[in-house]
Amino acid sequence: MVRVRKTIKCKIIKPTELKLKHLNKEYNNVQELLQLESKGIEFLPIFHSLKKKVYSANLQQALRFYKKIKPNKEYPISFRKDLLEVRKTDNKLSKYWVKIPTKQRKGGLKLAIKSQPFNFKDYEICESKLFKKKNNWFLNLTVQKEVELNNTYDSVLSLDLGQKYMGVSVMHPSTLMIPKFYGKEVRGIRRNYDYIRKQLGKNKLLKEIKRFGQKEQRKVTDCLHKISNEIVDLALTSNSTIVVGDLKGIRKSAKGKGRKFNRIVSNMPYLELIQMLEYKANWEGIRVIKVNERGTSHTCSKCGNEGSRPKQGVFNCSVCGLKDYNADVNGASNIGNKLSSGYILEDGATLTLPETDVYETSESSDFSRGECQK
């Protein structure tokens, strides 16, 4: 059993005028109280009269979380888990509604929410936060559940993390799927930001640097969600376990290639991708197994001998004759091979796999390329 926790960003959709008024009141009063408290004037009558207008648990949560209050900064309201409720609905407006505690509405304020597709089954709600952004309201709903991971798989989906593409996945047995490439644009987004940051840095525009950083982060996170969703869906429909290389190898291979290159590579959000992949897969009962990447880029995935990489992205093997093979696909295959050749799964999980094979292709452009939307 593993405990999986994740946060689902939900947009509160089309609240009525009255509900909006209640929301704003609760939110504004919490902000005002936090500012007053930070100035140490909680003994003033104004603090006490205001306090009566806020749901007490919401204020307690806020005071517990935010030790240091910055002037003019707004803070999300954190709701205690036992005061939140999420329900499925047949409403035309939305599939789900959430009930949050507020002072204004006894029994809670019921709001329609829109979220990414989510398996609302056997979960437990955790403390969640309400944000206001430019007159839009969002609830970051945190949920968790205990999951029994599957013990029997029909195939292995292996993922190699790369520099040109965020990752390439291959299936063992390969007849089930051609290799898939993900997230080509991530490196571009990083590079672009790197350039902008440098320009802004010259002019000491610190605020703009921060703003661009947040924008970049949103774009990248969006890509990572799409990549991880796609991989988990693949694993679900094929009943595969997911295998990834551990991350130490990538940082090592990036060494000695110049500072700029290093910065871009070490900025690549591999860790975030693996973490997303892990919680999303585990949520569905799928295991994610990490294997040592040693040798996976130089070994021939077909025959196991040492091959060569005449140029970036190409793999050749003089022993079995594999030629002009896509180096990333070779790497991903090797990662999968590590598992299928006697890697022991934890908890006695079993794997029924045919012998490994190789993709009959020489043109990397034949592969499908998963790209995120802009």
- Binding residues for Zn ion, rule: CB under 5 A, are 300, 302-303, 317, 319-320, 322
Which of 78/333 has CB closer to Zn ion? 333
Name the minimum Å distance from CB 169 to Zn ion. 21
Name the minimum Å distance from CB 323 to Zn ion. 10
Name the minimum Å distance from CB 321 to Zn ion. 7
Name the minimum Å distance from CB 243 to Zn ion. 21
Name the minimum Å distance from CB 172 to Zn ion. 17
Spatial distance between the Cα atoms of 105 and 115, rounded to a whole number of angstroms? 24
Residue that has been written with the tokens 């091959």 in this structure: 307
Which of 46/319 has CB closer to Zn ion? 319
Name the minimum Å distance from CB 306 to Zn ion. 9
Spatial distance between the Cα atoms of 268 and 186, rounded to a whole number of angstroms? 8
Name the minimum Å distance from CB 302 to Zn ion. 5
Which of 99/294 has CB closer to Zn ion? 294
Tokens of 319: 């022993």
Which of 142/337 has CB closer to Zn ion? 337
Return the axis-axis angle of helices 17-38 and 56-65, rounded to nearest 10°.
Answer: 50
Which of 190/302 has CB closer to Zn ion? 302
Name the minimum Å distance from CB 154 to Zn ion. 26
Name the minimum Å distance from CB 322 to Zn ion. 5
Which of 57/303 has CB closer to Zn ion? 303
Which of 93/319 has CB closer to Zn ion? 319
Which of 205/303 has CB closer to Zn ion? 303
Which of 54/317 has CB closer to Zn ion? 317
Beta-carbon contacts of 209 under 8 Å, excluding residues fewer than 6 positions away, are 197, 200, 201
Residue 347 CB burial class (10 angstroms; 0-12, 13-18, ≥19): exposed
Which of 86/300 has CB closer to Zn ion? 300
Residue pair 74/99 in contact by the 8 Å Cβ criterion:
no
Name the minimum Å distance from CB 319 to Zn ion. 5
Beta-carbon contacts of 101 under 8 Å, excluding residues fewer than 6 positions away, are 55, 57, 58, 79, 80, 83, 84, 108, 109
Residue pair 54/33 in contact by the 8 Å Cβ criterion:
yes
